[in-house]
């Protein structure tokens, strides 16, 4: 009966289920524990915050700042009611969600991120001495039975402490970058050792080979320097390669022409290889490139957009017993919440998953929040809401278009890509959510969603 009644009710934008919240004492402070998550489902989806038996549901997308702002205000009202000093947010590994709460609550919050992509990994982000720190740990820290999987790169009982905000999934990024670095070093070695010159080579071929050599070395060197890798080994190898090239050029007849090409191309090497440039200049007693070329090079490089990178630094890796004191304090806080359990955001997920999938049986856009209004609240409150909002009888049809089989209509139609078109159709069959009709515009039989019909007018027959 309730499911049938829901078709006559409008979807609310917000549902709050009042109940006892979860508050813990830590270091003389009262901390409100809130599980936060969001999803897209039904109409626009919902975001949810749950603290024990107190639940907040708001219609919208978890990436919408306005929706998150509304959720934050609801959480602040709950914290004011419970007289708490700080917040412990347990959430899915959505970086935008964590960044919002970090900016919104600053040092008054501790963020616990858990993602199902890297299912074992937990990132705890908090502020200490005016700077953000992150504890990266396993989800089975507080349980006796430990997981065994080669994907886990932190041994049992160990933690990593980072200076800066490190979100979940960073382990994969580290491994990916390490593979890149190994590949770059391998290719740089192969490039430096490449054979560029032989006695029978003409000037054009030598210029092409040398230009490729310089360009590739510069690219690989920049990549390694961006990852703050030591390149002193490669500087020495390039220096030896240039010296050997100078010796080979001196042994041919057209030494002067090949020397000019060498000096010009080598001058374009990265500034890390200045010693190699000096070798080429000293071997052939050449002058450095003129100021005009240097000036144009500087001007070109100044136009490059500088990347803004947040600096993060690993300050500790090892057993929990030897971790910094501020990290140990945060672990004690987590222990009060997750003692004997895996660290997870399942509280919020169970609130969402349980009702979104069942609410899809409702008509309309799913009406998730409407079903929550009637199922999560006390029966008396649910009946009061239904009786005050329910329209008895058939009620208005909300100006929905009526079609009859065999008639011609002109409709204004919006497709799934939000493209609006005007069509003349002949209705062949009427279904629950769509109609089958012959489209005179496409000259074919098509299906039209009833929700996509913006306006309809019947064609007058003569």
- 397-437 pLDDT, tens per residue? 555 567 888 889 999 998 888 888 999 999 999 988 889 99
pLDDT at 43 over 60: no
Structure tokens belonging to residue 253: 């007849």
Sign of CA dihedral 325, 331, 337, 340: negative
Where is the domain boundary, 302, 325, 358?
302
Whether 122 and 198 map to the same domain: the answer is: no
Query: In this structure, what DSSP letter does residue 62 have?
Result: T
In angstroms, the CA 341 to CA 141 distance is 9
Whether 33 and 78 map to the same domain: the answer is: yes
Where is the domain boundary, 248, 269, 302?
302
Q: In angstroms, what CA-CA distances link 381 with 4, 312, 352, 373?
A: 19, 50, 21, 9
pLDDT of residue 130: 92
400 within domain boundaries: no
Whether 265 and 317 map to the same domain: the answer is: no
In angstroms, the CA 134 to CA 111 distance is 9
Q: Tell me whether residue 438 is exposed, middle or buried, using C-beta atoms within 10 angstroms of its C-beta: 0 to 12, 13 to 18, 19 or more.
A: middle
pLDDT at 358 over 50: no
The runs of H, that is alpha helices, within 303-452 are 325-338, 346-359, 368-375, 379-389
pLDDT of residue 198: 84
Whether 44 and 185 map to the same domain: the answer is: no
Order of strands across the sheet with 420-430? 444-449, 434-439, 420-430, 408-414, 453-458
**In DSSP terms, which residues pair with 126 in a beta bridge?**
133
* Range(s) of the domain holding residue 203: 172-302
pLDDT of residue 418: 81
Whether 215 and 81 map to the same domain: the answer is: no
291 pLDDT band, cuts 50/70/90, is very low
pLDDT of residue 363: 39
> Quick one: what percent of the chain has pLDDT higher than 90?
37
9 pLDDT band, cuts 50/70/90, is low
pLDDT of residue 178: 82
Query: Are 13 and 26 in contact, with CB atoms under 8 Å apart?
Result: no
User: Model's pTM, two decimal places?
Assistant: 0.61
In 3-state terms, what secondary structure has residue 353?
helix
Q: How many domains is the chain partitioned into structurally?
A: 3
Q: Give the range with max mean pLDDT: 32-46, 395-409, 448-462.
A: 448-462
Q: Across residues 210-216, what is the average pLDDT?
A: 93
In angstroms, the CA 67 to CA 277 distance is 58
Structure tokens belonging to residue 44: 């626009």
**What dihedral do alpha carbons 400, 401, 403, 408 form, nearest 10°?**
-170
356 within domain boundaries: yes
Whether 277 and 369 map to the same domain: the answer is: no
pLDDT at 292 over 50: no
Q: Is the pLDDT higher at 12 or at 353?
A: 12
Query: Are 426 and 406 in contact, with CB atoms under 8 Å apart?
Result: yes
444 within domain boundaries: yes
295 pLDDT band, cuts 50/70/90, is very low
Whether 265 and 318 map to the same domain: the answer is: no
> Reduced to 3 DSSP states, what percent helix, strand and coil does the chain have, rounded to the nearest 5?
40, 25, 35
Q: Tell me whether residue 24 is exposed, middle or buried, using C-beta atoms within 10 angstroms of its C-beta: 0 to 12, 13 to 18, 19 or more.
A: middle
Q: What is the per-residue pLDDT across 65-116, written as a single tens digit (0 to 9) for each?
A: 888 899 999 999 999 999 999 999 998 877 888 899 999 999 999 999 987 7
pLDDT of residue 160: 92
In angstroms, the CA 427 to CA 436 distance is 6
Whether 290 and 428 map to the same domain: the answer is: no
**In DSSP terms, which residues pair with 161 in a beta bridge?**
135, 316
pLDDT at 356 over 60: no
438 within domain boundaries: yes
Whether 183 and 96 map to the same domain: the answer is: no
pLDDT at 286 over 60: no
Q: What is the per-residue pLDDT across 308-350, written as a single tens digit (0 to 9) for each?
A: 455 788 899 999 999 999 999 999 999 999 888 888 887 665 5
pLDDT of residue 400: 58
When the pLDDT of each residue in the chain is averaged and rounded to a whole number, the result is 81
pLDDT of residue 120: 85
In angstroms, the CA 112 to CA 337 distance is 11
pLDDT of residue 348: 61
Where is the domain boundary, 251, 281, 302?
302
pLDDT at 21 over 80: yes
> Quick one: what percent of the chain has pLDDT higher than 70?
79
426 within domain boundaries: yes
Whether 136 and 282 map to the same domain: the answer is: no
Q: What is the per-residue pLDDT across 185-206, written as a single tens digit (0 to 9) for each?
A: 999 999 999 988 888 888 899 8
Q: Across residues 254-281, what is the average pLDDT?
A: 88
In angstroms, the CA 176 to CA 19 distance is 45
346-359 vs 368-375: helix crossing angle, rounded to 10: 110
Sequence-separated (6 or more) residues with CB below 8 Å from residue 356: 39, 41, 42, 46, 366, 368
368 pLDDT band, cuts 50/70/90, is low
307 pLDDT band, cuts 50/70/90, is very low
Whether 162 and 197 map to the same domain: the answer is: no
pLDDT at 296 over 50: no
pLDDT of residue 357: 37
Query: In this structure, what DSSP letter does residue 117 have?
Result: T
266 within domain boundaries: yes
User: How far is Cα of residue 272 from the mean position of the Cα atoms in its chain?
Assistant: 35
- Cα Rg, the chain, nearest whole Å: 34
Q: Tell me whether residue 181 is exposed, middle or buried, using C-beta atoms within 10 angstroms of its C-beta: 0 to 12, 13 to 18, 19 or more.
A: middle
The runs of H, that is alpha helices, within 193-290 are 203-226, 232-250, 255-266, 274-283
271 within domain boundaries: yes
Whether 280 and 330 map to the same domain: the answer is: no
Sequence-separated (6 or more) residues with CB below 8 Å from residue 194: 213
392 within domain boundaries: no
In 3-state terms, what secondary structure has residue 421?
strand
């Amino acid at each position: 009966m309730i499911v049938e009644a829901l078709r006559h009710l409008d979807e609310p934008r917000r549902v709050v289920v009042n109940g006892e919240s979860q508050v813990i004492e830590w270091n003389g402070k009262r901390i409100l524990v809130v599980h936060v998550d969001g999803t897209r489902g039904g109409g626009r989806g919902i975001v949810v915050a749950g603290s024990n038996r107190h639940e907040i549901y708001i219609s919208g997308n978890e990436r919408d700042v306005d929706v998150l702002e509304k959720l934050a205000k609801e959480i602040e009202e709950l914290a004011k009611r419970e007289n708490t000093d700080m917040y412990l947010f347990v959430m899915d590994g959505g970086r935008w969600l964590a960044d919002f709460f970090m900016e919104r609550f600053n040092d008054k919050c501790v963020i616990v991120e858990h993602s199902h992509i890297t299912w074992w990994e937990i990132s705890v982000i908090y502020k200490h001495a005016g700077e953000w720190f992150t504890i990266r740990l396993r989800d089975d820290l507080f349980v006796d039975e430990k997981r065994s999987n080669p994907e886990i790169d932190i041994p049992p009982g160990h933690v990593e402490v980072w200076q800066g905000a490190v979100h979940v999934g960073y382990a994969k990024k580290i491994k990916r970058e390490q593979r890149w670095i190994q590949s770059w070093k391998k290719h740089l070695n192969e490039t430096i050792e490449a054979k560029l010159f032989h006695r029978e080579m003409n000037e054009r071929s030598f210029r092409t080979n040398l230009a490729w050599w310089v360009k590739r070395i510069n690219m690989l060197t920049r990549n390694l320097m961006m990852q703050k890798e030591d390149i002193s080994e490669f500087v020495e190898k390039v220096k030896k390669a240039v010296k050997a090239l100078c010796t080979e050029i001196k042994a041919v007849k057209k030494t002067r022409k090949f020397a000019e090409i060498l000096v010009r191309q080598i001058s374009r090497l990265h500034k890390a290889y200045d010693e190699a440039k000096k070798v080429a200049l000293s071997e052939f007693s050449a002058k450095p490139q003129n100021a005009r070329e240097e000036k144009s090079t500087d001007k070109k490089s100044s136009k490059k957009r500088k990347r803004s990178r947040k600096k993060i630094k690993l300050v500790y890796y090892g057993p929990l017993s030897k971790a910094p004191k501020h990290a140990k304090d945060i672990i004690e806080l987590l222990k009060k919440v997750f003692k004997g359990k895996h660290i997870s955001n399942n509280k919020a997920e169970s609130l969402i998953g349980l009702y979104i999938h069942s609410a899809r049986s409702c008509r309309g856009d799913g009406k998730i929040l409407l079903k929550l209004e009637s199922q999560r609240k006390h029966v008396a409150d649910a009946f009061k809401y239904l009786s005050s909002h329910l329209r008895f009888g058939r009620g208005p049809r909300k100006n929905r278009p009526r079609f009859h089989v065999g008639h011609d209509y002109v409709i204004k139609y919006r497709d799934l890509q939000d493209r609006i078109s005007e069509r003349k159709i002949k209705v062949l069959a009427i279904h629950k959510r769509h109609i089958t009709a012959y489209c005179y515009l496409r000259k074919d039989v098509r299906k039209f969603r009833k929700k996509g019909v913006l306006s309809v007018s019947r064609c007058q027959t003569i």
